[in-house]
Amino acid sequence: MKHLLLIMLATCGPLGMSFATAWSSEPPRPNIVVILADDMGFSDIGCYGSEIMTPNLDKLAAGGLRFTQFYNTGRCCPTRAALLTGLYSHQAGVGHMTDTKAGKSLPGYVGHLNHRCLTIAEALAPAGYHTLMAGKWHVGGDDGMWPVDRGFDHYYGIIGGAANYFRPGTGRWGPLALDHKVVQPEGPNYYTTDAFTDYALKFVKDAAKQDDRPFFLYLAYNAPHWPLQARPEDIEKYRDTYRQGWDALRDARHAKQIELGLLDKSWPLTPRDATAPAWDKMAKAKQADAALRMAVYAAQVDRMDQQIGRVVSTLKELGRLDNTLILFLSDNGGCAEGGTFGFGEIQTGDGAPGSADTFASYGLAWANASNTPFRRYKHWVHEGGIATPLVAHWPAGIKQHGALTNQLGHLIDIMPTSLELAGAKYPAAHDGKQLIPLEGHSLAAVLQGAAAADRGPVFWEHEGNRAVRRGSWKLVAEHGRPWELYDLQQDRTELHNMAADHPDTVAEMKTAYEAWASRANVLPWPLNEGKKKQPQKKPQ
């Protein structure tokens, strides 16, 4: 593309480049900020249909581009691995979670990023970028696997998965860390969403003081993942919002999505999940508890948006906003963990909802609303599990203000997009090890309003749930269940299974899936090392 920079190889570094590389000065390479929400559904921000107040994200959308068909992997660890590496998660070693004991000797399931991949930070640092991270890591917690070991100059956040928002670093999910050190929360008013932003902005400001080199920032919030914990003033905004219940909420969000142009009006809203009761049939006490859970969840999303506003304001103050690509997305769909109504008590003895002493989730019924208009949830690979908002904002590069794009994208595309915009190349080897070639496709052309080249099929697998998308066709199956086939151009909400009508298409896409699974280190679920059909080498 004409706007991209030419690389003048002055000396040779790990990527065939070094800091001594002479870069074209016009136009400058953009800063890149990737903001990842945790367990947030497709419809949970205003510009994707929500009633939750997200004015900062809505403003970014109004000045940028929204993707209507962007995908994650349906679960936290695999999404982070794929986003960071541009590979399918099994290829990067995180085909399941970070504590998969059964898979430690299997290349696709070692539970941490292997050494046959690079992170975006490892790829951009030799090209002259500052590489910064704050937030949730969750792709390897042992020595030598932290962010600063995988290319980031600075890091602050939680190494593991879920965390207490007011007292992180406790429990079984791993420590709170600053660079290489384990640290403790600072002060009595601590809250993870605020603290992650504080450190992200500190890192950006410090980098700007050093020099005018561009930066890559990965800001991975743990919000709105359970536990439901939020600041009282944020909860108060939503205390009465959800008393009408999930049925009315789903209808309202669906209507707004159609009005916004996110959905074709011919795609019906999926029926309420069969395990969720009709709201008006529930006892008043149960309604009150459920409404409060959703209020705390909304408060967590609201606080995240407030902090994103701080990021935008700081970039503007530094004179960096115009040439910064900001990408916002979620790691998976809304989370149904905890059954229909969620687990844990939402109120403590003193009546304070969402405090540090509560540990609750909002449950399947509200997750059903979060994922409007789709069905299924985090963990599954039907649309409700893998469809994510993607807001892209870059004043110097995106001229389609407030536009929507229906072009297919997957988070494996973020690495090649970053490389293209940075003028960097992905090497064949690193530190003496051969690297797996990138699977993603650059979205740089899409960001500038051009049509992307045909990318071929895209694949998913998690705990035996599997799918392949080819054009408008999607072949999908739950673990242990037969394949289903949908034409997403006509039926994005996956209500009309066409497998019986198109057996040849099913056969072709199934063959493509099996070929991908074989080359991408995907094994049948559940894992059983003692009965592997083929011996596999221990990962590097």
pLDDT tens digits, 266-291: 999 999 999 999 999 999 999 999 99
Report the pLDDT value the prediction gives residue 4, as an integer from 0 to 100: 36
* Local structure of residue 280 (DSSP, 8 states): G
Over residues 356-366, mean pLDDT: 96
DSSP 493: T
77 tagged catalytic: no
Tens digit of pLDDT for each residue in 319-359? 999 999 999 999 999 999 999 999 999 987 677 899 999 99
In-domain check, residue 488: yes
Q: How far apart are CA 515 and CA 163, in angstroms?
A: 38
User: 136: which strand partners?
Assistant: 158
Q: Which two tokens stand for residue 527?
A: 């894992």
Query: Is 138 an annotated catalytic residue?
Result: yes
Give the pairing of strands 433-434 and 181-183. Answer: unpaired
Average pLDDT estimate for 442-455 = 90
Q: Which of 76, 77, 117, 335 is an active site residue?
A: 76
For residues 361 and 343, is the Cβ–Cβ distance under 8 A? yes
In the chain, what is the greatest distance between 2 CA atoms, to the nearest angstrom?
Answer: 72
Residue 179 is classified by DSSP as T
| pLDDT for position 100 | 61
In a domain, 502, yes or no: yes
Choosing from 169, 194, 215, the residue where a domain stops is 215
Which two three-digit tokens encode residue 508? 């072709």
CA distance 266 to 520: 36
| pLDDT at residue 280, as a whole number | 97
Residue 228 pLDDT greater than 70, yes or no: yes
Q: Say if 418 falls within a structural domain.
A: no
Overall domain count for the chain: 2
Classify residue 101 as exposed, middle or buried by CB count within 10 Å of its CB (0-12, 13-18, 19+): exposed
Average pLDDT over residues 242-248: 98
Residue 363 is assigned to a structural domain of this protein: no
Identify the pLDDT of residue 308.
Answer: 99
Q: Where are the alpha helices (DSSP H) in 352-459?
A: 363-370, 383-386, 414-422, 444-447
In a domain, 479, yes or no: yes
Model confidence at 101, pLDDT cuts 50, 70, 90, reads low
Q: What's the DSSP call for residue 54?
A: -
27 has a pLDDT exceeding 90 = no
Q: What are phi and psi of 378, to 5 degrees?
A: -40, 140
Residue 154 is encoded by which pair of tokens? 């600075």
The 10s digit of each residue's pLDDT in 482-538 is 999 999 999 999 999 999 999 999 999 999 999 999 999 999 999 975 444 443 433
Q: What are phi and psi of 259, to 5 degrees?
A: -60, -40
pLDDT tens, position by position, 377-399? 999 999 999 999 999 999 999 99
8 Å CB contact between 506 and 485: yes
What b-and-e string marks burial along 325-355, b requiring 16 or more CB atoms within 10 Å of the CB? bbbbbbbbbbbbbbebbbeeebeeeeeebbb
pLDDT tens digits, 408-424: 999 999 999 999 999 99
496 within domain boundaries: yes
Mean pLDDT score across all residues of the chain: 92
- The C-alpha atoms of residue 3 and residue 1 are separated, in whole angstroms, by 6
For residue 156, tell me if it sits in a domain: yes
Domain boundary, last residue among 170, 196, 215 = 215
Least confident span in 57-71, 82-96, 342-356: 342-356
In this predicted structure, the answer to whether residue 24 has a pLDDT above a threshold of 90 is no
Q: Could you tell me what percent of the chain has a pLDDT over 70?
A: 91
Q: CATH no. for residue 501?
A: 3.30.1120.10
Whole-number pLDDT of residue 104: 67
- The mean per-residue pLDDT over the stretch 53-64 comes to 98
* Surface-to-core class of residue 100, CB atoms within 10 Å of its CB (0-12 exposed, 13-18 middle, 19+ buried): middle
In this predicted structure, what is the pLDDT of residue 172?
74
Radius of gyration of the CA atoms of the chain, in A: 22
266 domain-assigned:
no
Exactly one of 96, 112, 130, 138 is catalytic; name it. 138
Q: Of the candidates 170, 200, 215, which is a domain's last residue?
A: 215
Residues 332, 74 contacting (CB under 8 angstroms)? yes
> Domain of 493?
456-527
What's the pLDDT at 324? 98
- Asked whether the beta carbons of 356 and 476 are under 8 A apart, the reply is no
How many angstroms separate the CA atoms of 216 and 32, rounded?
A: 5
Is pLDDT at 21 greater than 80 in this prediction?
no
